[in-house]
Amino acid sequence: MAEDAFDAIIVGAGPAGSTAATVLARAGLDVVLIDRGVSAGSKNLSGGRLYTHALGKVFPDFATEAPLERLITKERISLLTQESASTVEFGSGKLGGKSASYSVLRAPFDQWLADQAEAAGASVITGIRVDDLLLRDGRVAGVVAGEEEMSAKIVLLADGAISLLARRAGLIGEPNPHHYAVGAKEVIQLGEDVVSQRFGLAAGEGCAWVFDGDCTDGHIGGGFLYTNRDTVSLGIVTTIGDLGYSDVRVPEMVERLKRHPVVAPLIAGGTLVEYGGHLALEGGYDAVPQLVHEGALLLGDAAGLGLNTGYTIRGMDLAIESGRIAAETVIAAHGRNDFSAASLAEYADRLKESFVLTDLAFYRRFPKFLEDTRGMFTDYPKLAEDAMLSLFSVDGSKPEPITRSLRTAARPIGFGRLVRDLWRGLGAINGRASVAGALGGAAIRVRGTANRKGGTR
């Protein structure tokens, strides 16, 4: 058999791919990282909030070295109707330390990550699209880009949501539209002082704000707004499965959010400097495909590792952790010179033990809760508006006891449904304590190997 050109080929220089490339190159493996964008991150898009706990394990000095925008110290969640926003705000200097999260802009952040991989010794190639996987004797043996074939002992697929390469090679099945969402985002330039003043922030501190209700015209999904150093990132995420029933297109949803009376004054006078759209993961734990294959691993979004709980949107920290664990698995397999699925099964086992699959399992019931509880996007924002209006309106008429106001506001929904939805909602975010509990004894999904155990992916 021809000698492999590389120890590892990684497709995709997003957070998953660049992290894996860095860890592999630091261990002295001959690794190439390929991205179709003109530069790493040029095709990537996030709402823009990075939880840094996973990043710090690989890049301990990230806080001073990485291009981070603002440390998030203020959280807001709003239920929107056309005219009102019922908002919960939490501000705290304690939103730092190990649980610190920062707003980031993907183009500079992803470029920084790819630079770390290059500095560690990885070859980084941008502007090349990988068209196919090279399959030999039933295993992944490299990649095909245009006329060129490149072989490697292992290929790490970090090519983002709905990995076309994994699908084309038959490693994963057809995507379910209910497992994916469309995201659209604008970056609006305001100036550093204006951002701080309008959002009530100290220098370097930031606000993360999520919206539910009117902005998606009652469809599953929501809006987000993150303050960057001198810009804000604002956008919408809504499920593809729901879009077919919507008269309002995604760009119009973004406009609705921008026009909302509570948002509009905050972005007034701003200049649009960037916009884009991207797929986001929405399926949670049940959408995670087979992760380990003969000669290949799936990482990050390509592995379905994304989490949307309504109040947090996460993917980058899961991508970074999966990149690190995949790389450490490959280093061990390299030591054994065995890149079979059986040898690589440790990747799935370690993800299961890590926060990645534990968190996904914990929130496993959340996507189904949202699908079954449309009132979250219609009736409940209206209920909140009615309750707030009855609390805060003073017009000279006789005051009502608060309990009666709340009962009146809840009447259109019905008390029984309200309690049921509340109970199910609490259950969905209260999760299950273990991956094993969530799996209920499902069989391991490691392709083409005799090493089949119970209870992992």
Ligand X SMILES: Cc1cc2nc3c(=O)[nH]c(=O)nc-3n(C[C@H](O)[C@H](O)[C@H](O)COP(=O)(O)OP(=O)(O)OC[C@H]3O[C@@H](n4cnc5c(N)ncnc54)[C@H](O)[C@@H]3O)c2cc1C
Residues 390 and 282: their CA atoms lie apart, in Å, by 36
Torsion over CA: 362, 365, 369, 370 (sign): positive
Tell whether residue 15 is a contact of ligand X (CB under 6 A).
yes
Tell whether residue 315 is a contact of ligand X (CB under 6 A).
yes
Work out how close the CB of 73 gets to ligand X at its nearest, in angstroms, rounded to a whole number: 16
- Interacting residues of 110 by C-beta distance below 8 A, sequence separation 6+: 13, 14, 15, 18, 40, 41, 44
Residues 14 and 35: their CA atoms lie apart, in Å, by 8
Task: Locate 441 and state its tokens.
Answer: 């004894």
Work out how close the CB of 434 gets to ligand X at its nearest, in angstroms, rounded to a whole number: 23
Compute the C-alpha angle 271/272/278, nearest 5°: 160
Task: Give the range of 44-52, 73-81, 358-366, 419-427 binding ligand X by CB under 6 A.
Answer: 44-52
In contact, 237 and 182? CB cutoff 8 Å: yes
For residue 416, give the amino acid letter: G
By CB under 6 A, name the one of 24, 29, 44, 215 that touches ligand X. 44
Tell whether residue 129 is a contact of ligand X (CB under 6 A).
yes
Residues 224 and 185: their CA atoms lie apart, in Å, by 9
Output 47 or 405, the one with its CB closest to ligand X. Answer: 47
User: Residues touching ligand X: how many (CB under 6 A)?
Assistant: 41
Q: How many C-beta neighbours within 10 Å does residue 152 have?
A: 24
Task: Give the range of 199-207, 246-254, 310-318, 423-431 binding ligand X by CB under 6 A.
Answer: 310-318
Tell whether residue 316 is a contact of ligand X (CB under 6 A).
yes
Tell whether residue 8 is a contact of ligand X (CB under 6 A).
no
In contact, 25 and 121? CB cutoff 8 Å: yes
What kind and span of H or E run contains 55?
helix 53-58
By CB under 6 A, name the one of 23, 68, 195, 237 that touches ligand X. 237
Output 12 or 295, the one with its CB closest to ligand X. Answer: 12
3-state secondary structure of 124: strand
Residues 87 and 76: their CA atoms lie apart, in Å, by 7
Work out how close the CB of 156 gets to ligand X at its nearest, in angstroms, rounded to a whole number: 11
Work out how close the CB of 404 gets to ligand X at its nearest, in angstroms, rounded to a whole number: 40
Work out how close the CB of 199 gets to ligand X at its nearest, in angstroms, rounded to a whole number: 17
Work out how close the CB of 23 gets to ligand X at its nearest, in angstroms, rounded to a whole number: 14
Task: Locate 429 and state its tokens.
Answer: 């975010």
By CB under 6 A, the residues from 342 to 401 that bind ligand X are none
By CB under 6 A, the residues from 246 to 285 that bind ligand X are 278, 280
Tell whether residue 11 is a contact of ligand X (CB under 6 A).
yes
By CB under 6 A, the residues from 133 to 162 that bind ligand X are 158-160
CB crowding 340-357: b at 16 or more within 10 Å, else e: bbebbbebbbbbbebebb
Work out how close the CB of 418 gets to ligand X at its nearest, in angstroms, rounded to a whole number: 30
Output 127 or 261, the one with its CB closest to ligand X. Answer: 127
Tell whether residue 306 is a contact of ligand X (CB under 6 A).
yes
Contacting positions for ligand X (CB under 6 A): 11-17, 34-37, 43-50, 129-130, 158-160, 165, 183, 185, 235, 237, 278, 280, 300-302, 306, 313-317, 319
